[in-house]
Structure 1
Amino acid sequence: MVHSEVIADGRARSPAASSPTADPATGITVFGCSRDEAALFREAGTRLGVSTTITEAAVCEANAELARGNRCISVSHKNRITNSTLLALSGAGVEYISTRSIGYDHIDLAYAERVGISVGNVAYSPDSVADYTLMLMLMAVRHAKSTVRRTDSHDYRLSETRGKELRDLTVGVVGTGRIGTAVIDRLRGFGCRVLAHDRRPDCCAGHVPLDELMERSDIVTLHTPLTPDTHHLLDRRRIERMKPGAYIVNTGRGPLLDTEALLAALEGGRLGGAALDVLEGEEGIFYTDCRNKPIENRALVRLQRLPNVLISPHSAYYTEHALNDTVENSLINCLNFESRKTA
């Protein structure tokens, strides 16, 4: 069972909480914790009265015993949590997992519930991803990748292809939860036309069916959660409906987009470009140093060769403000779970 508040695009956020008071014995094991997160967890744990056991290792079947004695754990979104790991965590006495992400497609929620574990996600500043999304849009329509590459090699000539201004474009926003809405708010400042699509047709002004959005938009940006229904939401059929020269931006989840269909449209010259902060098969590649080893994801290699494709390693969320939100709300999730257990 997920203990969280579901918002418009199907994502969830932690209940807004005035920081609860911890029982002196409250302990939480934090898995997959980077150094910058660790400092924040120690500070917030001291302030909230929580004892934190912190490890840089991602949670797995082999290290599940690190949670022994703590009913609650906090995990990263960077690694898939297998069902065998969930079973091992249950055997170690874990009853609640707080994932430090909005999405929880890396956890089998039904299996977690079957082995007695509840799962909660966190809210963090939507501005982090919304700002990044607008940055990617601007970089895409102004051909920033090829411009910077030329300048780095001391070629200071203007490109033969002129850029576009957002005010002259129609932008289609797919998913109008907190992040999608924040993107729409920013787009209004640029004076562009905005279309929106969400699973709730009354979600916002400018709502249109998805196929219509694909046909009318110069830029399509994805902000919907990944579920079985949204896997390959932008498939070959929908990508082929897009305007010639249109752009796709994805800061949601990689599998929302059929990568092979996208590659076909880009390599065939039908689309103007793409800006992707997430990618199918990113696991084990993003967040690691791959400079001295081959990249197994051939689609990623093909995309990076294209001058009109921007790739970043799932970093749209990564700001000081959002990271503070994530750490604090992960601890608060656990404290709220403990308070429900003892109430």
Structure 2
Amino acid sequence: MTYSEPARPADSRARSLASSSSSAVPPTGITIYGCGQDEAALFRELAPRYDVIPTIAEAPVSEANVELAAGNPCISIGHKTRVTNPTLLALAETGVRYISTRSIGYNHIDVKYAESIGITVENVAYSPDSVADFTLMQMLMLMRNAKTIISRAGVHDYRLNDVRGRELRDLTVGVVGTGRIGAAVMDRLQGFGCRTLAYDTRPVAAAEYVSLDELLRSSDIVTLHTPLTPDTHHLLNGERIEQMKPGAFVINTGRGPLIDTEALVPALESGRLGGAALDVLEGEEGIFYADHRDKPIKNKLLLLLQELPNVIVSPHTAYYTDHALSDTVENSIANCMKFEGRNQHG
């Protein structure tokens, strides 16, 4: 589904801004791909403030719909579907020169190839609090055996049995990656009184930094907040999982391939690790964000993980709050406008 619509200023101030802007230059067109209904509503609301005419497509960008970008050198894309190199080439041939991806990560797009054909790719920033809050929730759910307690209560089994929890103040938490999200997680952990260790190739936060090996050996909980790069792919592989403290827990709200899932599953099944909370997973593409109640799941490791009582799986939803979504949409528009400005004046 696609549509274009003229800017409609939402209030007198926005109307004044749009009017003064449009008197100097015509409205800017931006094509937005892979846009859900919630994002579409925000694009409609925010576009007038920037004197933008949005063309919104529910479908992700592909070779079949690049014509929707004709005349619009800037486009915005979602992170849920990989952008192929043939699609990038088709976009370049259509006149696209800038892509704003509505995500922090770039692993769904070949940035170097895009640059080689004249397309600049940039990400967006959004409130780190969304992912940080979710990460703390996952920690607490793991420490208090929430999955088992809730599932038992659902069948009216209210016994305590073996669901005694642990308190964060008694534990050491290792934070891998201390950018905006990792730092926000550490800020929250201070209130729980636990010891916090940190690892990053570029230490910037006020934290107790240690080597990755020491962090893995010493931490009761390891939480991952590093970007996915060739160097961080399978950062937690079989060898590093063996280094972890026996019974430790792992949390991943970064990117699925940070963990070697084939090595993780047996460590969880055997009790070598105490549990895991995974908001992202290798092979999630084509599964997360879709209704599969009446469809087979081909990712067998996902099915195995969901069966384990000590594993919480959520469908890449840590970022998904009203505040973060608004940040994402507005910053995607702003990025496109900045690129247009650089081209016009630089």
TM-score w.r.t. length of structure 2: 0.92
Give the match for residue 70 of structure 2: 68
* Shift in Å, 1:156: 1.1
Question: Does the Cα contact within 8 Å between 1:247 and 1:273 map onto a contact in 2?
Answer: yes
Q: CA RMSD in A?
A: 1.3
Give the match for residue 199 of structure 2: 197
CA distance in 1, matches of 2:106, 2:223: 20
Letter matched to residue 310 of structure 1: I
Give the match for residue 111 of structure 1: 113
Letter matched to residue 121 of structure 1: N
Letter matched to residue 33 of structure 2: F
CA distance in 2, matches of 1:174, 1:329: 26
Identity fraction in percent: 68
Letter matched to residue 185 of structure 1: D
Instruction: Note closer, same or farther for the CA distance 1:163–1:228 as it changes in structure 2 (3 Å cut).
Output: same
CA distance in 2, matches of 1:202, 1:128: 21
Q: Which string of whole-angstrom CA distances, capped at 9 and with x for unpartnered residues, describes residues 225-253 of structure 1?
A: 00000000011111011111110000000
Q: Which string of whole-angstrom CA distances, capped at 9 and with x for unpartnered residues, describes residues 202-221 of structure 1?
A: 65420000011000000000
Q: Runs of 4 or more off by more than 2 Å in structure 1?
A: 19-25, 201-205
Alignment gaps of 5+ in structure 1: 1-18
Give the match for residue 235 of structure 1: 237
TM-score w.r.t. length of structure 1: 0.93
Matched, 1:148 2:150: yes
* Shift in Å, 1:201: 4.3
CA distance in 1, matches of 2:161, 2:290: 33
Give the match for residue 127 of structure 1: 129
Q: Describe how 1:269-284 pairs up with structure 2 within 5 A.
A: 269-284=271-286
Question: Please, which of 320, 336, 339 is the counterpart of residue 337 of structure 1?
Answer: 339
Q: Which string of whole-angstrom CA distances, capped at 9 and with x for unpartnered residues, describes residues 111-170 of structure 1?
A: 001111000110100000000000000001111001100011111111314110000000
Question: Does the Cα contact within 8 Å between 2:144 and 2:163 map onto a contact in 1?
Answer: no
SS in 1 for 2:197: strand
Q: Which string of whole-angstrom CA distances, capped at 9 and with x for unpartnered residues, describes residues 47-76 of structure 1?
A: 211010001000011111110110000000
Q: Describe how 1:32-181 pairs up with structure 2 within 5 A.
A: 32-181=34-183
Give the match for residue 326 of structure 2: 324
Letter matched to residue 37 of structure 2: R
CA distance in 2, matches of 1:284, 1:194: 36
* More relative contact order, 1 or 2 (CA 8 Å, 6+ apart): 1
Letter matched to residue 283 of structure 2: G
Question: Does the Cα contact within 8 Å between 1:171 and 1:195 map onto a contact in 2?
Answer: yes
Question: Does the Cα contact within 8 Å between 1:147 and 1:159 map onto a contact in 2?
Answer: no
CA distance in 1, matches of 2:21, 2:212: 45
Give the match for residue 214 of structure 2: 212
Question: Does the Cα contact within 8 Å between 1:24 and 1:50 map onto a contact in 2?
Answer: no
Question: Does the Cα contact within 8 Å between 2:178 and 2:204 map onto a contact in 1?
Answer: no
* Shift in Å, 1:274: 0.2
Letter matched to residue 150 of structure 2: V
CA distance in 2, matches of 1:324, 1:242: 38
CA distance in 2, matches of 1:161, 1:38: 43
Give the structure with higher Rg (CA): 2
* Shift in Å, 1:192: 0.3
How many residues matched? Answer: 325
Letter matched to residue 88 of structure 1: A
Question: Please, which of 292, 295, 319 is the counterpart of residue 293 of structure 1?
Answer: 295
CA distance in 2, matches of 1:281, 1:152: 30
SS in 2 for 1:190: coil
CA distance in 1, matches of 2:151, 2:40: 36
Letter matched to residue 331 of structure 2: N
Question: Does the Cα contact within 8 Å between 1:281 and 1:297 map onto a contact in 2?
Answer: yes
Question: Please, which of 27, 30, 34 is the counterpart of residue 28 of structure 1?
Answer: 30
CA distance in 2, matches of 1:143, 1:232: 27
Instruction: Note closer, same or farther for the CA distance 1:21–1:170 as it changes in structure 2 (3 Å cut).
Output: farther
Give the match for residue 188 of structure 2: 186
Question: Does the Cα contact within 8 Å between 2:196 and 2:207 map onto a contact in 1?
Answer: no
CA distance in 2, matches of 1:100, 1:53: 16
Letter matched to residue 135 of structure 2: T
Instruction: Note closer, same or farther for the CA distance 1:304–1:21 as it changes in structure 2 (3 Å cut).
Output: farther
CA distance in 2, matches of 1:148, 1:21: 55
Instruction: Note closer, same or farther for the CA distance 1:178–1:83 as it changes in structure 2 (3 Å cut).
Output: same
